[in-house]
Every structure is written in C-alpha cells, then in structure tokens.
Amino acid sequence: MIKQLPHFILIFFISCSQLLENGKGPFSFLPALDLLPNSQAPIVISSTPLNEQNAVSPYSEISILFSKDMNKTVTEGSFTLRNGSQSVDGLFSWIDKMMIFKPKSLLSQAGQYRYTILGSKAESSEGVNLIRDFSSNFYVNEDSQQPQLISSIPSTGAVGVQTNTSIQLNFSKAMKLASILTNISSSPQISFDYPASNLSADGKTVTLVLLAPLVFGTNYTLTVPASIQDSSGNTLIKSYQISFTIGNDFEKPNFTEISSSSVANFVATEYVNVSGFEKDDSFFLQFDEPILPSSMNDSVSFTPSVNYTIQDVSTNSTRFRLTPNSVLDIDTTYQIKVSDQIKDIQNNTLVKSYVYNIRVNGPRSRPLWVRGIYLDQANTLQINTGIIASIASDGGIGPNYNLETGTNGFYIYFCRGETLLTCDTTSSPRDLSLQLSSIDFDVRYDFGPNIGSPYLTLPLNVTPLPSDRFLIRTRLFSLAPNPSTYIFTVKGGKQGVIDQYGNYMKQDFNFRFRLNP
C-alpha cells in the first residue's frame, strides 16, 4: 500500500522543476536538463541581394539564411517577390537553413524589386513564427531613383485656359515619350496629336499637342499615372491629376428676342396664345452674346412637328433665322420650344427653356369660305342654302330644263377670313385671288324621279370689286323638274379650291335644290 506524499514534498519538486527550467535558484550549479522543447523564435541572419542594392544582375537568385531549421513548405508560402505591383514567379530550393528562390524569368524590369517574408506565416520546424515580417529592396539597374512630376502648363486649378493650348509636363528626370503617350488619360477625353507631341532636349519636358480644340467652359482632368517610366525604366513615384478649366466666362446667355416675318418680338409672352402669324413666316432668335452655331441644331422644336433650316444671320452669332421647310397649316396653333441646351461659345447653356404658342391666322393665312350662292352677278338674288331651295328654270324643254340663259347660273361668292361671318369685312389685305384650276364644282341627282342627266359648265371668273371677294359663275343643264332634287358641291380641303397663298376651305360646301319649269 502506497502512502500519500506529504504536501510540502510535492510543492518542493514543482518549485525545483521551475528553477531548473529558468536556470536560476540554488540548483543552478547542476547540469542543465532539457525538460521542455526549444521555443525560441527564428530570425533572418542574412539575405541577398542586399537591402537597397543597385545594379543587381537580372540573373540573380534570392537567398535568405535563417537562424533555425524552418518548416520549408510554410516558409516558402510566406515569400513574395514583386516589381511594383507585379508578382514574380519562381522555384524554391534549400541548403540547410538557407532558402533559395530562383525567378522563372530574368529580372529585366526596371525599378524597385522587393522580397518579403511574412512573420505571421513563416515558422521554424518546431512551429515557432518569425517575430516580425522581413523585407528587402533592390534594383536591377544602376539608376533606381523614381521620377516626379515637378510642374505643368496649365497648372492644376487653372482657369481661363485657351481652347488651343498645348499641355506641358515637367518631370524631375528624362522620360520615355512612348510611355507617357500610351498611359496618360483625360476626362472628358482630350484628343492629342501624338506625332506632333515631343520631348525637350534633356528629356524632362513633354509637350502634348491637341488634335482638336478644347471646349469652352469645360473642366478637364488630366491623369498622369504612376506607370509612366523614365528613360531608365523607373516608374513615377506616384500618380498625379491636373484639373483646369477652359475659358473664364461662366455666365449663361439670355434669350432676348423671338419674332417672325409678321409678328414683332414676343419673347416675354410664354405659354399664352400669340396670334397673327402667316403660314410662310420665318422666325428670328436673338441672344445677348455669341452662340455656338452647332448648338442651335435641333434645339428648337415645333408641335405639331415641323422640319426647318436654321441660319446665322449676324456677324457675331447672336441672331439666327429659322425657316420651316414647308408652309404651316392655317388656323392651327403650334407650340415652339427653345431648348436650354443652346450654348454660348464658352459652353454655357441658355438660362432656361422657353415655350411659346403661336396661332397661324395672319391676314394671308386664313381659311376660304363660300359666303353665298347667288342667281345674279350683282349678288342680289341669294339662294337660301339652309333649306332645299326651289329655283325657276330659264331655258330648255322638259324633262331637260336649264339654268343658263343670259346672265343666269349659279354665282359662288368666295371670301377669306377667320370665320364665315367676318370673312367679308376683316380680310386685309383685300387681295383674294383663287387658282381657277383648283375650283371643283359638282352637281348630282339626290332623290325623286330619276330623269335627266344634269351637268354643269367650267367655272368662269366674274370677280367684281372689292377684290377681297371672288365670284365664280357656272351654268347647269338637263335638270328634271320638281320633285327631283339635286346636290350642288364646292370641293374643299387641301385638294379643293385654294387661293394664291395656299389657303383653302376646311371642308366641302353642299346645298340641295329643285328646279321649277
């Protein structure tokens, strides 16, 4: 039977083991006992190439000597070799505590190379990590200094830059022109004339020549990226951005006049109807400063749609004439919108959009009307066209009666005006003239005994004064007597009667009549 040890003896042995591990205390004269594993962290004793070494051979290998045996797989995974942002691939080998990395290809790129061991990953064979990361830099070429952008013309923040300016970039070292031209960028995009762009004699200043002028009022940002290289292949120390503004006029242009060939300036009358326009009017637009002519294209619109041409009619691009490609429709209201995308020559847009309602009802742009049908040239015997008129014949023998002897026949009285009631009194100028070839009369049987073959003669112009009236006579033949009823028609619409200005009746004019023998 084993007896339990006294507590003070157990405490004695525990204390002694701690004193032996620490190498301290009254038993330090005893030989050391390897009671616990070695927990000391490994360190990097040396490496090649040396830190900040220049002119390193492009065939070089990277070697790193550790203080302890290392876990090879894990340590290899903690290693990187980079040239700028580019990672370099290679193969690993070991000689005792030294790890060797052989790049798969030559270290041919200029600039800084950097190799790194991550302390959090690399570990000794006992599983103890490096205390901290280890890294070292080297350069393949002798010139390892990175260039900087010293100044530019225009400088960043510049205002009032000319549209045809060249751009100068001044560097601290001689640069590769091709590297600049292929890497530089801008927003909005600037088109450069690459063959005309050049480097100064010392290679430190590049002049970028524009292929097309820059746009007034536009803020441009030129980006000079860190990937641009000097003549030794070193990249810029950082990226640069240069922002500048073309022109110094930022005031929006004002719209000062819109008028037509027949209506004076109505720029202050938006949205309400403006009357008095002729269907063949041109329109004039005036601004308080020069306008970019190209911005006028498609910047004015009509509803209903109208195609037009626009012309600069001033010496300084402040006044433009807009001419519809076809006549406007009479007695129609059009909406004209002047867009705020119209720009001055420094790219400032119009203060706002403008909207106008115009009514095409000028003195020469009013519809035609049949004022009345008469049986005499003096306009004293008017037929009541609101009922079936009963008219006495003046020739022929039944069943074919006529309305044709002497001055008899139908006299159709036309006039031009906004309404039927006012067309005889408001037409001005009083210059109505119809195109005889457009006049189309028709007489046809309507109902009753269907006998006879009615027909009429070609219309004859018998226009009396005043000239705002236009009187046409036509004679009728072979009419059957009452109760046979006929319809007399004056053709209207755009295919009917028209005057010298292209005005027409809105619709056909019809009335019914009977003939008494």
If the chain, 517 residues long, is cut into consecutive pieces of 10 residues, what is the mean pLDDT of each piece? 42 37 43 54 94 86 95 96 91 95 88 92 94 92 86 94 93 93 94 92 95 89 93 89 89 95 96 94 96 93 96 96 94 95 90 96 91 89 94 83 82 90 70 88 84 84 73 90 92 93 93 91
Is residue 167 domain-shared with residue 295, that is, in the same domain? no
Task: Give the pLDDT confidence score for residue 2 in this predicted structure.
Answer: 41
Nearest to 410 by CA among 367, 433, 439, 451: 439
Question: Hey, what amino acid is at 413?
Answer: Y
Nearest 10 degrees: CA dihedral of 420, 425, 429, 430? 90
Is residue 407 domain-shared with residue 445, that is, in the same domain? yes
Does 482 fall in a domain? yes
Last residue of a domain, one of 360, 381, 406: 360
Question: Looking at the DSSP assignment, which residues form a beta bridge with residue 171?
Answer: 149
Check which CATH number belongs to the domain holding 112 and give it.
2.60.40.3710
Is residue 85 domain-shared with residue 205, that is, in the same domain? no
The CA angle 499-493-417, to the nearest 5 degrees, is 50
Task: Give the pLDDT confidence score for residue 368 in this predicted structure.
Answer: 93
Does 270 fall in a domain? yes
Cα–Cα dist 349/355, whole Å? 16
Is residue 466 domain-shared with residue 493, that is, in the same domain? yes
Task: Give the pLDDT confidence score for residue 482 in this predicted structure.
Answer: 87
Is residue 376 domain-shared with residue 512, that is, in the same domain? yes
Is residue 512 domain-shared with residue 376, that is, in the same domain? yes
Cα 206 to Cα 174, 175, 180: the distances in Å are 10, 8, 8
Is residue 411 domain-shared with residue 501, that is, in the same domain? yes
Cα–Cα dist 222/240, whole Å? 8
If 0-12 CB within 10 Å is exposed, 13-18 middle and 19+ buried, where does residue 74 land? middle
Does 181 fall in a domain? yes
Last residue of a domain, one of 139, 171, 201: 139
Is residue 374 domain-shared with residue 458, that is, in the same domain? yes
Task: Give the pLDDT confidence score for residue 346 in this predicted structure.
Answer: 82
If 0-12 CB within 10 Å is exposed, 13-18 middle and 19+ buried, where does residue 105 land? exposed
Does 221 fall in a domain? yes
Is residue 173 domain-shared with residue 236, that is, in the same domain? yes
Cα 427 to Cα 190, 369, 421, 423, 504: the distances in Å are 60, 12, 11, 6, 14
Last residue of a domain, one of 214, 246, 278: 246
Is residue 122 domain-shared with residue 73, that is, in the same domain? yes
Question: Looking at the DSSP assignment, which residues form a beta bridge with residue 135?
Answer: 116
Task: Give the pLDDT confidence score for residue 406 in this predicted structure.
Answer: 65
Is residue 65 domain-shared with residue 17, that is, in the same domain? no
Does 471 fall in a domain? yes
Does 144 fall in a domain? no
Q: Token match 């010392």: residue? A: 202
Task: Give the pLDDT confidence score for residue 15 in this predicted structure.
Answer: 38
Is residue 135 domain-shared with residue 154, that is, in the same domain? no
Question: How many domains are there within the chain?
Answer: 5
Domain span including residue 210 = 149-246
